[in-house]
Structure 1
Amino acid sequence: MIRILISAVLLLLARGDDSFFLAPLEGKQGPELALILVQGASCPVKGYKPVGEAIQKASPFKVWVGVPQHLFDLAEFQFEAKVNDMLKQMENAGMKAHHKVMMGHSLGAVQSQFYAAGSGQGKIDALVLTAGTVLRKYRNSTKLPPTLTIDGDLDGLLRITRQAEAYFHQVIKVGGADAPGLDRPVVLLEGLDHWSFSSGDRPSNVKKNDIQPEVTMEAGHAMIGEVVADYMSSLFGSDEEKAAAGTKIVGAVKKTGELVEPVLAALHLEGYHYLNPPCNSDYPTNPTCQYARYPDKSLLPPAGPPKPMPPADCTCGSDWVANTAASIVAGFEETPASQAKLVTKDAFHDVSDVRPFHLPHIFEPQPGTACSDPSTCFINATTVSMPIYDFKDDFDTGLWPVTASEFRTKFKSREALQQAAGLKDVNYTATDELNTEICKSINQAAYDWALKAASSIARDRFLKHGQPLVFVEDKKSGFGPRGPTWIHDALSFTPSQDKKAVAVQSHYFPLKNKKLGDVPFIQTVGYHYCKLLSPARAMEWIYVDGLKEFYGTRNDQIQIVV
C-alpha cells in the first residue's frame, strides 16, 4: 500500500504542475513588487490569471504575479518550497522586487497566515486574504504583517457574519476606519461570492456551498484589482500615492461598515461570544451588569472562579432575552398591568450547572408579595440563558454558522409575573401549562426583527429567493431518566416537502407557581423554560443559509444573476 501511495505521488510530481507567473505590464512606473497568489483547496491555479491581470492593470507599480501550484492543489503541501521556487523563477526572469506581498484565497488565506506567522515571518511585507479572514488565533498576534481582508458579501463559504466579527475587532475596536495606523482593514465587495476571486469551473465544495454572485466575473475582478492595488499603494507608494490610496481604502472600509451594520446589531443582541466574551455573574468583572444572583447556593462546593477571569468589557447576557423576550413571556398587554414596568437582566450560564444553581427570580416585589396596583407596578426580575454554538465553528473556517443555534433560556413564568404584578385569578393552565405560543411568539419576534433590520438589498433578495421561516406551536418537554428532557430537546428546523419553507419549533417546560414564589429554592416553582431563536441566527439565515437552497450555486440549472 505504501509503495502504491509513493508511486502515485511520484506520478503526480512527474506530471509537472501548472505554476506560472506574469511579468509586469509595460509602461508601469514605480517600484517592482512580487505578488504571490496562493490557491484555494482544489482550485486550479490557471483560474487566478484574470484576477492577477486585473491587479496588474489597476496598480501603478511593476507587479510581478506568481501563482505556484501545490501538490494535490492543496496549499498545505510544499508551501514554503513552492513559494521560494516561484520567487526564484521570477528573479531569474529579471524581477528585482522591492517588496513581497502574499495573497491567499480561501484555504490559501489560512496557509498564508501560518507561513507569515511562522517560518515566513519577516519575509513578506503584506498579506491579502481573499475569501478568507484573519484567524482568531492571530487576532491579537503581532506576528502577521499588515493584512488586508477582502471578500464578497455573498460568500457562502466564509460567511458575512464571520467577516462582521472581523470588522468589529480589526476596525471598530481600534478606533474605526479613520484610525491612524489601521493595519488590518476589512473590505467587503457587494455582489461578489467566494468564487469571484478566481475563474473557471467551481470545485465541488465551492459549488455545493456558495451563493450566486450578482456581479460579472470580469467586473468583480476589476473591483478586486482596484482594492488590492490601492492597498499596495497605501503601503509602498510615494507619500502622495500613500495618501490618495489610503483615502480610498478608508472609504471602502467605511462602506463595509454600512454593509455589516445590521449583522453586528444582531450579534450584539445575541451577546455573541466572539465579540466580547461572556461574563460570569458568580464572579462579576463588568460593573455595568449589576446582575443579582439567585439562589447563590450550591448542594456541593461551588466551582472556583474562571481562569482567566472575564475582562471588564465582557458581555453580561443577551439584550434580546432581557429587553424583548422577557416582556413577551410576561404578557402584560391587554391586562390591567399593561402600564407596569418590567426590568429584566440576563446572565449567561450553563443551565445544568448546580455549583451554584442559577435560576430566574423576581426580586421586586419581594417573594410572597404582589403589587397593589397592576398599572403602576414595578417588577425587577432576572433570567438565565445558555447560548449553544456549533463545535464546527471552532475550526474557524467560516463555512458553518457562527451564531447560536439556540438559547436555552429560563424565565419566570407568565403566571408568576402576572401574579407579582397584582393580577387576580391568574390561570396557570392558560398562562403556561398548555400555552404553546409563548416561545413561538418570542421566536417569531426575533425573525421579524431580523427581517426589518436587514439591509433592503439583503431583505429583498431573501424574500425573493430564500427559504422563509415559519413558526409552529411549542412542544412541551417531559421527564426522562435524568430529569426534564427540555435541556436536550433542541430547537428544530424542519424543511417542508418542497423545501420552500422551514418550520421552527421550540420546546418549553413550565412549572406552577406557589405562594408568590416564597418557597425554598429547592422547590422549583413559577418557571417557564424556552428554546429560543437568536435574532443573530435569524439574520444569518436571511443573509446566508436561507439562500443556499434556491439561490446557491449547487443547482446546475441556476443562471448566475448579473
Structure 2
Amino acid sequence: MATKSLVLVAGLSWVLVAGALATLSGGPDGPSNDDVILPPRLPSQTMPTRLLVLVPGANVDTSYYHEPAMAIQDLTRSVVNLWIVVPSVPLKKCITLCPSSGLCFLLQDRVQSAVAKAVAMGYNGSTSDDVFMGGHSLGGVCAGNLAQGYSGTAQSYSALILLGSYVQGFDVAAFPLPVFTVGAELDGGLARPGITAKSLASSDAAAATHGTDWQLASRPVVVLKGLDHSSFCPGFRVPGDVWPADTPFDEGVGLTGAAVGAFLTLRMGAAAPAAAAAAARKLLAAHLAWTRELLSPLLKAMVMEGQLSPASLPVIGVAPWCATAQRIIANLDSATATDVALRAQLVAPGDFEHSRAGYAKVAGGGVEVNVSGDAVHYGTGVADVANSCLAPAKQIGCKLVSGARLAALRNTSVGPQRSCADVNAEAVRVARTLLSQTEAGRGTLSRHDVRGRRLCTVPDRHTIGDVGPLFVHGSVSYSDNASCLAVAALALGPTPLDSLLFPGVHYCQLLSPARVIDYFMVDSLKNASGCLNTGPGGPVPLPPPPPPPPPPLPRAPTVTLRPQPAAELLAAGSTPCCKTCAAPQVKYFSVDVPHGFCGETCLRPAEFPVFKVFEKNLTRYNGTGPSPCAEQFTPWGTHYTNYTETVTHGVWPLSCTLDLYAPEPPPVMVM
C-alpha cells in the first residue's frame, strides 16, 4: 500500500518537548525574583555540557523565564546537557549594573554568583568558554554589553542570544561574538520589526561575503510570527506592548524554544549530530524567510523615502516620494505628461532650507522640473527618545512646483486643486498595496482592519505667513487618541504666480508610506502610539482560548502536502490513537487533498510551532466535536470520516503518531 501521511517531521532529531509545562504564572510556585537554576532535564554522559545565562528584562521577576528556559532545554536535549541560569538583579533593572560594555563588572559578579550556584548543584563545565550569554528586552541590552565587554578575555562568553532586544548600534556583523537576534512580530516596544530590520541588514551584508550557512550559525536575525514582547516572559504583561499576542503563550514558548534550540545546536559545531544540524538550519532558514517576507513591504516603502536599507542613511540625490508628491500636486498623469522631465533630489541634512524647487522650458516644448526633498527621522534628539523605535521617517519634506505654475508652463488647464493631504492619502493607499502583495503583509492588514485603530489623514496645517524657515523647521502633526492617529501635513502655498517671493511653489511636510506600514504593524494595535514601557502591565492570567472556528464552507481546501518518504515511517497500526487527547496535549489536524486523506494527532501546544514549520496546513482544533476531519469538506462536498490506519512518523526523539481518515465517496449522480 502506498504510504500516506501528514508531513509533520523532517528529521529533527534534536527536538522533543518533554512533559507538561508548569502553569504560565511565573513558575511552578508563582512569581519569584530569586536566581533560577535549571539543571538539564535528562542529562547524558555521552553529550557535552553547556550553560546558558538569561538576563531578565526590566521589572520582570526571574521566575517568568522558567517555561521558556525549560522549552529551550527540551529542544536541545538530544544535542547538549544544557544548564540555564536566570540571575536576579537589584531593583529588577540590570542597566544599573551594566550601563555600558566598559562598566559591567557588577553584572559580571552577579552572573558569576548565580553560575556558582549551578556549579554547586553539579554543573561541571567552564564558567566562561562553555557559557552562552542571553537576555530579554533591557536584559538583552545588558547581556550584549556584558558579552562585548568581556570578549577576548579569560572570562569571554561563547555567543549572545537576544530576545526582543538588539546589540548597540544594531551592527551584528561587527559584534565580536556570534549573536542570535530574536524579534517578535507584535513587539510594541523598542525592538519592533522595523528596528530588527536594521540588525538583519547588517547580518545580510556580512552574509554576502560569508554565506548563508555562516549567517544561520553566527548572525541569524529572525522575527517570530504572532508573538509580542511579553511572549518571552509568559505570564507577565510588559507595559506598552501589543496585547494580547496572536500566538497563545503555550505555543509561543515552543516557538521561542525551538528557534533558540536551533541556534544552540549549530553553535555546538561537530558535537551536534549531522541530522540535528541540518534540521536546525532548515528551521532557522524557514524563520528567516518568513522574516524577510514580513519586512518586505516596510523596506520597499523605506526606499521611497530615499533609504536603500534600514541600516543606511538616506541616499543623497534620490527622493522618490517627492516625485510622487509632485505628480499629485500638479495633476500629472505619468501616461500623458510625457513632456515633463521630473527630477527629485534628496538634499543633505541641513541643506533643505537653502534648496529650491526649479522649473524651465526646454527645447522641443517640454518642461524640466527639479524638486528637493528632506527626510527627518525619529530618535535624533533627547526629546524624541519615546519615538526612537520607529525606523521610518517621521516626515518627508518636499519643495514642489505648484499645479498652476506647471499648467502655465505647459499651456494646459490647472485641473483640480490638490493639497498635501491628498499626498498623505496616497501614502496610505500605497502602504496598503505593498502589504497586500505578501501573505505576511495581508496578515498585517487583516489584523489592523479587525482590531487596529484607524489612521486618519486630516486637512493641511499651513505655515504662518508662508515663511520658509518656519516650514523647514515645522513638522507633520500626529494627534493620537484611542480610536485614531490623525495625521496633518504642513503646507506652504501654493503661492501666487506673481508672488515677489518664491512664486508658484507648493511645499509639503508629508507622511511616509513606511510610517503607515509601521503603524499598521504595531501602534494601531495599542491604545496609544509609542516605544516606552507605559500603560497597563504586570502579572496576568492566561488569555482565554480562542473561540471555535466558524463552520467550514463547502469548498476544497488549498493545500500543498507532499508524500512522506517511506524511511520516515516508524510504525503503522489499525487502532486509532487520537480519538481524544489527554492534557496537556490538544488535537491538531491537516488535510491532504492531493493524496485524499485527513490526519488527526495529539500534540502539546509547545510542540506545535516546530511541526508547523514543516507542515504549513497543521491547524489547532478549537471545535467541540470528536473529529475535526469529519468536519472538513472534500472537493466533492463529502467529509473525511473513514478511518484507514494509524501511523507514526519521524526520527527519535521527534515523532508524531496520527490517525488517517479517507474521504466519503462522491455522491452518485442519478440520471
TM-score, normalised via structure 2 length: 0.65
1:73 aligns with 2:83: no
User: Is the contact made by 1:351 and 1:384 (CA closer than 8 Å) also made in structure 2?
Assistant: no
2:277 to 237, 242, 252: 242
Q: Distance in 2 between matches of 1:274 and 1:526?
A: 35
Matches within 5 A, 1:132-211: 132-136=165-169, 138-139=171-172, 141-143=174-176, 145-157=177-189, 158-171=191-204, 174-175=207-208, 179-182=212-215, 183-202=218-237, 206-211=238-243
Aligned partner of 1:382 in structure 2 is 370
Aligned partner of 1:129 in structure 2 is 162
Aligned partner of 1:415 in structure 2 is 404
1:441 aligns with 2:474: no
Matches within 5 A, 1:65-464: 65-76=84-95, 77=97, 78-97=106-125, 99-121=130-152, 123-136=156-169, 138-139=171-172, 141-143=174-176, 145-157=177-189, 158-171=191-204, 174-175=207-208, 179-182=212-215, 183-202=218-237, 206-236=238-268, 237-238=271-272, 240=274, 241-272=276-307, 275=310, 277-278=312-313, 314=315, 316-322=317-323, 324-333=324-333, 338-350=337-349, 357-362=354-359, 365-366=361-362, 372=365, 377=366, 379-391=367-379, 400-423=389-412, 426=414, 435=417, 437-454=418-435, 455-464=441-450
User: Is the contact made by 2:399 and 2:507 (CA closer than 8 Å) also made in structure 1?
Assistant: yes
Q: Distance in 1 between matches of 2:545 and 2:529?
A: 10
User: Is the contact made by 2:480 and 2:528 (CA closer than 8 Å) also made in structure 1?
Assistant: no
Change in CA separation of 1:244 and 1:17 when aligned onto 2, cut-off 3 Å:
closer
1:492 aligns with 2:473: no
Q: Distance in 1 between matches of 2:261 and 2:387?
A: 26
Q: Letter of the aligned partner of 1:345 in structure 2?
A: A
Q: Letter of the aligned partner of 2:452 in structure 1?
A: G
User: Is the contact made by 1:155 and 1:193 (CA closer than 8 Å) also made in structure 2?
Assistant: yes
Change in CA separation of 1:420 and 1:172 when aligned onto 2, cut-off 3 Å:
farther
Change in CA separation of 1:161 and 1:47 when aligned onto 2, cut-off 3 Å:
same
Q: Distance in 2 between matches of 1:412 and 1:393?
A: 31
Give the superposition deviation at 1:449.
0.9
Give the superposition deviation at 1:350.
4.3
Give the superposition deviation at 1:341.
4.5
Q: Distance in 1 between matches of 2:472 and 2:56?
A: 44
SS of 1:479's equivalent in the other structure is helix
Q: Deviation per CA, 1:188-221, whole angstroms, max 9, x where unpaired?
A: 111100011112233xxx2234342011111111
CA RMSD of aligned residues (A): 3.3
Aligned partner of 1:5 in structure 2 is none
User: Is the contact made by 2:352 and 2:372 (CA closer than 8 Å) also made in structure 1?
Assistant: no
Give the superposition deviation at 1:223.
0.8
Change in CA separation of 1:231 and 1:350 when aligned onto 2, cut-off 3 Å:
closer
Q: Which moved more, 1:193-202 or 1:23-32?
A: 23-32
1:503 aligns with 2:501: no
1:49 aligns with 2:30: no
Q: Distance in 2 between matches of 1:17 and 1:543?
A: 33
SS of 2:245's equivalent in the other structure is coil
Give the superposition deviation at 1:114.
0.8
**Alignment identity in percent?**
22
Give the superposition deviation at 1:38.
0.5
Give the superposition deviation at 1:134.
2.6
Change in CA separation of 1:403 and 1:551 when aligned onto 2, cut-off 3 Å:
closer
Q: Letter of the aligned partner of 1:210 in structure 2?
A: V
Q: Which moved more, 1:536-545 or 1:231-240?
A: 231-240
Q: Letter of the aligned partner of 1:181 in structure 2?
A: W
Q: Distance in 2 between matches of 1:560 and 1:413?
A: 56
Q: Distance in 2 between matches of 1:140 and 1:396?
A: 25
User: Is the contact made by 1:467 and 1:547 (CA closer than 8 Å) also made in structure 2?
Assistant: yes
Q: Distance in 2 between matches of 1:525 and 1:447?
A: 30
Q: Distance in 1 between matches of 2:170 and 2:193?
A: 19
Aligned residue-pair number: 480
Change in CA separation of 1:102 and 1:560 when aligned onto 2, cut-off 3 Å:
farther
Give the superposition deviation at 1:170.
1.3
More strand by share: 2
Change in CA separation of 1:332 and 1:392 when aligned onto 2, cut-off 3 Å:
closer
SS of 2:408's equivalent in the other structure is helix
Aligned partner of 1:304 in structure 2 is none
SS of 1:381's equivalent in the other structure is strand
Q: Deviation per CA, 1:42-69, whole angstroms, max 9, x where unpaired?
A: 1100111110000111112211011110
Q: Distance in 1 between matches of 2:506 and 2:385?
A: 35
Change in CA separation of 1:344 and 1:128 when aligned onto 2, cut-off 3 Å:
same
Change in CA separation of 1:551 and 1:192 when aligned onto 2, cut-off 3 Å:
farther
SS of 1:181's equivalent in the other structure is helix
Of the two structures, which has the highest relative contact order with CA contacts closer than 8 Å and spacing of 6 or more?
2
**Structure 1 regions of 5+ residues with no counterpart?**
1-15, 280-313
**Structure 2 regions of 5+ residues with no counterpart?**
1-31, 98-105, 436-440, 547-671
Aligned partner of 1:533 in structure 2 is 511
Q: Letter of the aligned partner of 1:233 in structure 2?
A: T
Q: Deviation per CA, 1:60-110, whole angstroms, max 9, x where unpaired?
A: 221101111011111122310111112222122221236211111000110
Give the superposition deviation at 1:37.
0.8
Q: Distance in 2 between matches of 1:460 and 1:68?
A: 40
Aligned partner of 2:566 in structure 1 is none
Change in CA separation of 1:422 and 1:30 when aligned onto 2, cut-off 3 Å:
farther
2:461 to 465, 475, 482: 475
Q: Letter of the aligned partner of 1:478 in structure 2?
A: I
